[in-house]
Structure 1
Amino acid sequence: MSKKLLFSIIVVLLITNVATMLFWKSDQSESPVVEDEKIDTKKPVATIDGDKVSYGDWMKSLQDNYGKKELKNIIDRQIVEKLANEENITISDKVLERDIALLTTMQGPTSKENLEKLEQKWRSDILYRYQLEALLAKGIDIPEEEVQTYYTKYNKQYHFDESVQFSHILVSTMDTAEKVYSELENGASFSLLAKEYSIDEDTRDSGGYLGFNSVNTEFLPSNYFDIAQELEEYSYSEPFVTSNGVAILYLHKSLPEIAFSYEELKPFISNELALKSSNQKLVADPLWEKLDINWVYGE
């Protein structure tokens, strides 16, 4: 990745305040799961030189090592959902979309289907985070002047610039570009063709991937954004002349600008300041006492 491209990505992330949005557990990652119907619980789940590991041993190990943590996570989420419904705590779609847009910019090239799955999980995590924050902040008053001062100073951090996720194939002549375009039309991989033909040394090895770029960036030819406006997501352009050669552009994803007024941000800023003033951690533990909860690990 070129230094210029890296810098443009960093600018986008800083502007959208990435640090405040990475709230979910960093130690949780997606891992392959064996479908239940493929597991015969009566047979060993593994053998080591004839020594067997039974299904029961496996389940006990999972429960001993992860059971309490995962069960608590389920209870935490149900507590927050129940109390948020009782308190009529709702989160605006605009805030959810801004945070989803931010997280989308942190993804590499992703298929439409996979991105939709990620967005579904993100939406659930974001909603939980904001509802939890509101529940913990309830009853803690923050002066209006303090909220306004914070907004004046930091409101740009909540702003999301219009951003576009590109790949490109850059060649020297229109003849070469038309040859590449013909191969694309016949079903060839855009990424593989970029590795074979592109003269852009900064992106060639990554299949021509340019990442997410703000429409205000100065690091890409301006006509890239003009061409992108005519494309549907997950589609490529016809060859066109640019300042560096002849390009074919692939549009992965386009994200619109999202900006907020003071009134839209006021409740979220108030909650942030309330938790900060009370040294509250963003955990659901204090909410357990509000409900009658019994679980296998005790009271």
Structure 2
Amino acid sequence: MPPLEKLEPEFPIIDADFRRFCASLGIFSVEDFLVHDVSKVVALAESKATSKVLKEGIAQILSIIDGQHQPWLNGVDLLNNTTQNKHFLPTGCEGIDMLLGGGMREGQLTEIAGPSSSGKTQLCLYVASHVADKHMGGVLFLDTCNSFSPRRIACIVSQFSNSSIREVKELRLKRIMSGIFSQSIYDIFALLDVLHQLEFKLNHKVTSETANVCLLIIDSISSLITPILGGNSSQGRLMMVSAGYVLKKLANEHNLAVLVTNHMVGGEGGILKPALGESWKSIPHVRLLLSRDQGSRLCNISVLKHTSVASGRAAEFLITDGAA
């Protein structure tokens, strides 16, 4: 569901005046209505001179939301959808794939949290390379902190390439790189805009890069969200929840595996914990904690949250050189 400003051509009632009223309440998209008390929004509209027009706009938004509701599915339908459409997407890291029972699940949002220099970015680059190589599926890499590096991908590909023929290696690298699409984004507004554009492209199959996409990576989600949190305003938290909602919706409706990274912050007693707080904690289907000793290539990954794997289970794997 798009930002409100994108709706005006089709729904003139959602004009600049209506959007200013919504913005005063921290509402910038249709999703934002889902986390607001609609009765309070209507009550505030009634206190305005243009209450009739504002209430008509609210009614229009609610009708759009109603039109987006998915039909109820019974247990058999849900099981069939999972087994037929929500496949495992191996990461290429044997320890991780064994821990997760096969890899990342399509239709789910997976978070990798870890301190600085634990290897989050290098793992994302490795997973992107492996998926583009082995699964012939497109990878979308949203780069929030200049972490995407074609040179590092080339290094990764050379390390898991068995061929000694230079021409074959170069062709393989070209094929893998052609399947990875990267875009730099630096704030939450740009992220929401990119996600809504992606949703439109996936729904209408308008571009080749999204035709067979199976993996969306955001490195890192916390770099975009942390600046808007804090203070007494709830707007930042609402935008964070909206972003999480869109990511999960994209994953479920288009059978994508979504992978995001998150940094760590100090908790009670100085113990590190994933950033972004309790509101974000409930959003990922899977949360993994990545760690490694300084200077070591041996990484440890443990389950913080999973739909079918017990919390606390852990595995080790070796990461390639040049980890971030």
Task: Give the TM-score normalised by structure 1.
Answer: 0.23
Instruction: Please identify which structure carries the higher helix content.
Output: 1
Instruction: Please identify which structure carries the higher strand content.
Output: 2
